[in-house]
Each structure stands twice: as C-alpha cells, then as structure tokens.
Structure 1
Amino acid sequence: MSDIETSTVSEEGFASTSQVGDFELTIDATDEQGPNPNAVLVADYASCFLPAFRVGGQQRGHDDLGKIQIDADADLDGDDDLSGVRFSIHVEADLGDDEFDEIVARAEDICHVHAALREELHAEVDVHGGAF
C-alpha cells in the first residue's frame, strides 16, 4: 500500500478535481475554476516551509515565533515552467539575522517539498522580524 493516494478527475476542459483523503481541490490550467498547477505548487511549497520554519525555530530555542506569514512569488520561463521561487517571510518575533539564517537552514532540511524540488527551484528566502 502507498503512503499517499490521490485521485484526480477532469470531466471536460482544463479543470480537474483532486481528492486527497477527505479533501477536494480544484485546479485549473486556465485559472477559471481554481488556481493553476504552478500556483498550487508554490502555495504547497510555502505551506510546507512555514511549519518547517516554526519547527526549525523550536529546535534553535525559539519556542514562540508568533505569527508567521510567507509571501511567495515565482517566475515562469517561456514554456510556463517554474524557473524561480522566492519567499518573503514575516515573523512576529524580532530575532537577529544570524538566528533567522539558522532557522531557515533547519526549515530547508525539514520541508519535504523543498527536498522534492530540483535545486534550481529552491526558494530564495528573505526573513523580516518584528513584522506584526
């Protein structure tokens, strides 16, 4: 048996509905009925990186980072393939750059999506403390 099982169906057009456990997600290559696959991948990456960042903070003795927000943006090449990803991470806690660098390094080791992507697509990360 597999660790993860999904089912994706498209009745017509370019939209599909994916069943992931008890959850449904509509993805549409034309951005009409849902976000496009590249946007979903960038959001998925950020959604994985954020809790990894929080765990990385805990492992470095920062148990309460407060509110964290990742603003992600990405570039597409001429074939509409992702060619770059950037995260601007806003953290309520006001830590030093060295502390944030350590947390980012741990998050990169922890985040499963980061590990799954080819190195050229690893997010460039910029962290802003005292953000809220």
Structure 2
Amino acid sequence: MTDIETSTVSEQGFVSNSQVGDFELTIDATEEEGPGPNGVLVADYASCFLPAFRVGGQQRDHDDLGKLQIDAEADLDDDDDLTAIRFDIYVEEDLDDSELDGIVERAEGICHVHSALREELHADISVEGGAF
C-alpha cells in the first residue's frame, strides 16, 4: 500500500494541475498561472521546517515559541537547477543563540523534506529570537 498518491495533468503548455488528496495545486514552469516547480519545492521545504521547528522547541522545553516565520531564498544555476537554499527564521520567543541552535538541529532531524533533499541543498539557516 502506498502512503501518498497524487495525480498531475497538463492539458497544454507548461501548466500542471496536481491533485494531492482533497487539494488542488497549480504549478506553472513559466510562473504565469502559478508558482514554478522550484518555488513550490522551496515553499514546501519551509512549510515542513516550521512545524518541525515547533516540535524541536517542545522537545527542548520551549512549548510556546509564539509566531514563527521563514523567509526563504534559493539560487538557481544556468539550467534552472537549485544550487542553494537559505532560511531566515524569525521566532517570537526571545531565546539565546544556543537554545535556537539546539532547536534548529532538532528540526533538521524532524523535517521530512530536509531528509529527502541531497545534503548540498539543505538550507543554510539563520534564526532570530524575539523577532516580533
């Protein structure tokens, strides 16, 4: 039995419509009708990392981190392949660098997208507590 099933259809051009469970997602390689595949991958990575960061905080006795935000950046080579990803993470709770580094380390072990990417594409992460 499979754990995840999707269906992706492209009627014409470079737009694909994916069905993921009960949700639809439009991805456009030209970025005219939706985000491109690389943008979706970076957003997916960030969307996985935030809850992993929250769980990592709970595992380090920080049950209420407050608001969290990731501003992500990525670099592409001449073939439009991802070469680097960077996360700037903003945390409402005012924690010191050691505490934040411990949470990042835990989150890296929890985030399934982080685990799925080749190591050279793991996000370069900076994190700032007391940000909101």
Q: Distance in 2 between matches of 1:129 and 1:97?
A: 8
- Match status 1:48 vs 2:48: yes
1:130 aligns with 2:127: no
Offset of residue 93 of structure 1: 0.3
> Residues of 1 paired with 2:105 and 2:16: CA distance?
35
- 1:45: Cα distance to partner? 0.1
Structure 2 length normalisation: TM-score? Answer: 0.99
Q: Which structure 1 segments of 5+ residues have no match?
A: none
Gaps of 5+ in 2: none
The residue that corresponds to 1:66 in the other structure is 66
Number of positions where the alignment pairs a residue of Structure 1 with one of Structure 2: 132
Query: Partner residue of 2:12?
Result: 12
- Following superposition, the deviation at residue 124 of structure 1 comes to 0.4
Q: Distance in 2 between matches of 1:122 and 1:89?
A: 15
Question: For the residues of structure 1 that align with 2:79 and 2:12, how far apart are their CA atoms?
Answer: 23
Residue 2, structure 1, aligned to residue 37, structure 2: no
Letter in 1 for 2:45: Y
1:116 and 2:98 matched: no
SS of 1:41's partner is helix
Q: Distance in 1 between matches of 2:89 and 2:71?
A: 6
Q: 1:28-107 to 2 correspondence within 5 Å?
A: 28-107=28-107
Cα offset for 1:78?
1.2
Distance 2:130 2:3 in 1: 39
Paired residue secondary structure (2:120): helix
What stretches of structure 1 move > 4 A for 4+ residues in a row? Answer: none
RMSD of aligned Cα (Å): 0.3
**1:25 matches 2:20:** no
1:75 and 1:33 map into 2 onto residues whose CA distance is 22
Query: What is the CA deviation profile of residues 51-72 of structure 1, one whole-angstrom value per residue up to 9, with x for unaligned ones?
Result: 0000000000000000000000
